[in-house]
Structure 1
Amino acid sequence: MNDEIKSMRLTDFVWFQRGFDLPQSKFEEGEVPVYGSTSILGYHNVFKVKAPGIITGRSGTLGKFQYSEIDFWPHNTTLWVKDFKGNDPKFAYYLLQCLDFTVFNSGGAVPSLNRNLLNAYVVNVPPLETQTRIASILSAYDDLIENNQRRIKILEEMAQQTYEEWFVRMRFPGYETTRFDLETGLPEGWEKARLKVFCELIMGQSPKSEFYNEDKIGLPFHQGVKDYGFRFPAHKSWSKEGNKRAKANSILFSVRAPVGRLNVAAEEIILGRGLAAINHNDGLNSFIFYQLQKIFFEDNLIGGGAIFASVTKNDMERIELIYHGDLAKKFNDFAYKIDNQILNLTKQNQRLTEARDILLPRLIMGLIKV
């Protein structure tokens, strides 16, 4: 290890402060992010802390860090770095991610981060110049990942807006000369029918626990929405057995709370009890995906505005869809190309994340010269 690297207590490296109370009912419209323990809770018109900042949860989920480059409000469920003690803030953010904060759990059923225990943690810290170089290397990966995420969001919005233009506002190609059926309210030649008419539905069934593994034996296994990213779920476990499967490009639908969360399978996977797979009979899955995304614009919402903790196969088969063969195919051809771009960008981000995560501890520990 480099002789210039100094060992010190964590509290001599950075100093944590408890966040500030702000009930959601008190949020005022603004652009200041209010950070919770794992994500942004919303936005407010007043900040409490000037950027840059590092925020982590003080109860519940421990060891997940967020970095803010703009002034922010850390919620009272969090701890935030009040004093960087002259260290590079971005380097501190990366170093903290290498630590196992679960050892600080002073709670019972709900983990709680005890600040008094932080003093016992010893970290190895290089000189400021080295900190800045390490932060720059790792930030380059994060910048690429963030740029891809922005591109994914733009692509998704493009497809969704086109869907709404054609199938909600009814401004589809040729709409100017199309007649509407006064009885149904739909353009002539369109139909409305339940999901079971157009699609095959497979309900998940979790395999026995002895078949699970993390050694990539068998097929990726997914239990529910908690494993998912923005699109195309990233899997953490595999199963050697399981008859309920989704093929690549299947629409994944959460049948347990939050009901109606959607995703797309990037490969063949085994479906757990919390998931169902949907496939259009003629392969128009992109068309169905964006229609379902429009229907389930709120988590847990299914049919008639009722809230469900879970739904059955019958509940799902009753979901009403609108359909026009030629137009649905035309939209699907357009959206499928977008979905492929989203998949490719998602895979790029997975590779970038893996490379960064391999590099991070080696740089932090001084195993790689910078």
Structure 2
Amino acid sequence: MTWQNSRLGNHFKIKHGYAFKSKYFDTSGKYIVVTPGNFYEKGGFKYRDNEKYYSADPPDNFILKKGDLIIAMTEQAEGLLGSSAIVNQDNIYLHNQRLGLVINLNQKTLNKYFLYCLFNTALIRNKIRATATGLKVRHTAPDRILNIEVSLPDITTQQRIAEILSNYDRLIDNNNRRIALLEESIHLLYKEWFVRLRFPGYESVKIVDGIPEGWNRKTLKDIALSIRQSIHPSNTDPNTPYVGLEHIPRQSIALTSWGYSNQVDSNKFVFTKSDILFGKIRPYFHKVVFAPVNGICSSDAIVIRPINQDLFGLTLSLVSSVAFVNYTSKTSKEGSKMPRANWDVMEQYPILIPSSKLLREFNTLVNLVTNQITNLIFTNQRLRQARDLLLPHLINGSIAV
């Protein structure tokens, strides 16, 4: 297999983005202005909680299309310069001035997915970083990237490498879709049993004072506690999982990624596996996950722990429900910067408790689903680790295909 040195500019061009006017930035809308904050450090598209929506009509030639390859040309955060992502939806994302868009790609000499992987290797990132200017925030430019020289195999070899690496991403995406379906099954089960009251055997149960006979009216404090055990990261194993609000996904109960305690240096809350983490600052009330591991978390999260194992399913379903999130938002108290959830009020939220038998049945079903979700989370982590180990060796030719 012969690899040849070549300028990137011999194979494609890079289009600079548009300077969208800040006066049209909004909190909702049809279009989202993509920034370097939408990139993962290792590459790939990242969804954010504070997306920049655009309320005006954008120029047509700066609306990104599905399959477009974009590059971060501003180091908005450490390690993001040169990160690349492939756009996964049509006519939603806008190409702004901090990004480069790969155009006029010669597909006879360079495979797009191979190029995406190439941008996400340390070798190319270091070369891009060397082209950057700026003291506080580093920037690069299309011409500087295009002047970088790389070693490329023939197009057939590129396609084989791209297929190997993309298989990992397809498996990860498939698992993420399975996680989403499993999450939805929990929400639907909760609605069916506890909102619509169509639980097993409901046909033969009388309704007394608005609730099924044998059920009881309680509040959240009767089934769960807020745990505020504080610890400094220096007193933990450096590899202890750390969960900040940035790690908790939007509108998902699956915690799929986290950092480690050696990356933070202030007191954090301790949580244990199956605790529930609830973002307590108003923009993050929709961030609710169950913990698949033991670890520490930001003090901007409330650690909620069921008072016994049989109450896990009900507690998780309740605090992740839209109704509870809306209740928390409306009853939040003013903080120094922004409204925060008030546990003293949250714990007063009314709930219905079924018979012990039904409660155990519901909990068993939820546990089966959350165990599947946890297995998929760790499967995806192993897939990412394997892909990331293979990536540099395949791209530089040290492993033959």
TM-score (normalised: structure 1) = 0.80
The 1-side partners of 2:29 and 2:298 are apart by 38
SS at match of 1:226: coil
Match of 2:156 among 114, 118, 129: 129
Number of aligned residues? 356
Give matches, 1:29-48, under 5 Å.
Answer: 36-37=34-35, 38=38, 39=46, 48=63
Q: Which residues of 2 match residues 184-263 of structure 1 at below 5 A?
A: 185-203=210-228, 205=230, 207=232, 210-211=234-235, 217=238, 219-222=240-243, 224-228=244-248, 231-238=254-261, 244-256=269-281, 257-263=283-289
Q: Give the Cα–Cα distance (whole angstroms) in 1 for the partners of residues 327 and 17 of structure 2.
A: 30
CA deviation map 1:140-193 (0-9, x unaligned): 1111111111111111111211111111222222222333344xx433443343
The aligned residue for residue 354 of structure 1 is 385
1:289-327 residue CA offsets vs partner (Å, 9 max, x unmatched)? 121111467699534488854334434434443322433
Asked if the contact 2:332/2:339 (under 8 Å) is kept, the reply is: no
Cα deviations by residue, 1:199-226 (Å, 9 ceiling, x for unpaired): 1221363516x557xxx6363233x221
Structure 2: distance between partners of 1:122 and 1:192: 69
For residues 327 and 134 of structure 2, the distance between their equivalents in structure 1, rounded to whole angstroms, comes to: 31
Q: In angstroms, what is the RMSD of aligned CA positions?
A: 3.7
Partner of 1:82: 103
- Unaligned regions of 5+ residues in structure 2, if any? 39-45
Query: What are the superposed Cα offsets for residues 14-43 of structure 1, whole Å, 9 maximum, x if unpaired?
Result: 322234659688966xxxx96723246799
Deviation of the 1:11 alpha carbon: 3.4
Instruction: Provide the residue aligned with 2:183 in structure 1.
Output: 156
Which of 348, 352, 359 aligns to 1:322? It is: 352
**Alpha carbons of structure 1 residues 53 and 280: separation in structure 2 relative to 1, 3 Å:** same
CA contact under 8 A between 2:226 and 2:302: conserved in structure 1?
Answer: yes
Find the residue that maps to 2:261 and give its secondary structure.
strand
Residues 83 and 297 of structure 1, relative CA distance in 2, 3 Å threshold: farther
SS of the residue 1:154 aligns to:
helix
Distance in 2, Cα, partners of 1:173 & 1:352: 39
Structure 2 CA distance, aligned partners of 1:363 and 1:297?
48
- Give the Cα separation in 2 of the matches to 1:70 and 1:276: 34
* 8 Å contact kept, 1:34–1:74: yes
CA deviation vs aligned residue, 1:251-290 (integer Å, no higher than 9, x gap): 1222235135111222221233222322211212122112
Name the TM-score, length of structure 2 as normaliser: 0.75
- C-alpha change, 1:299 and 1:188, in structure 2 (3 Å) is closer
